Amino acid sequence: MLSEKFKDKHIILASASPRRQELFKELGLKFTIKVKSIEEKYPSTFKKEEITNYLAALKAKAFEDELAENDIVITSDTIALNELIA
C-alpha cells in the first residue's frame, strides 16, 4: 500500500483544493496541508500544459529553503480553457 511505502516520509500537500485533499485521504496517506501564496505569472508564449507545469513548479520552489530530507512536497495546478470547436 502507498501508506506503507511513504511511512517514513512527511508529505506536504501544497494545495487548498478540497478535491485533492479528499483524494489523498482516499489513498490512505498521512499528509499536512501547507499553502504558500505565489504570483501566478507565466510567459504569454506558454501553451496549456506548459502553464500548469510552470505554476506547479513555482509552488514547489516556494518550499525549497525549508524542507527536511524526508519531506515530499506535492503541488499541482489546473487551468480552465475556453476553446471554440469549429
- Between residues 12 and 48, the one the model is more confident about: 12
The DSSP code sequence of 4-18 is HHTTT-EEEE----H
Calpha distance 10→30 (Å, rounded): 8
Tally of structural domains, the chain: 1
Tell me which residue range forms the domain holding 28.
Answer: 2-74
* pLDDT (0 to 100) of residue 79: 80
Domain presence at residue 79: no
The set of residues, in sequence order, having a beta carbon less than 8 Å from that of 40 and lying 6+ positions away, is 55, 58
Domain presence at residue 8: yes
62 pLDDT exceeds 90? yes
> Are 73 and 63 spatial neighbours (Cβ–Cβ below 8 Å)?
yes
> Are 33 and 15 spatial neighbours (Cβ–Cβ below 8 Å)?
yes
Query: Across the strands, what pairs with 10?
Result: 71
Any catalytic annotation for residue 77? yes
**Catalytic pick from 8, 65, 71, 77?**
77
Q: What is the pLDDT of residues 3-46, one digit of tens each?
A: 888 889 999 999 989 999 999 999 999 999 999 999 989 999 99
Domain presence at residue 86: no
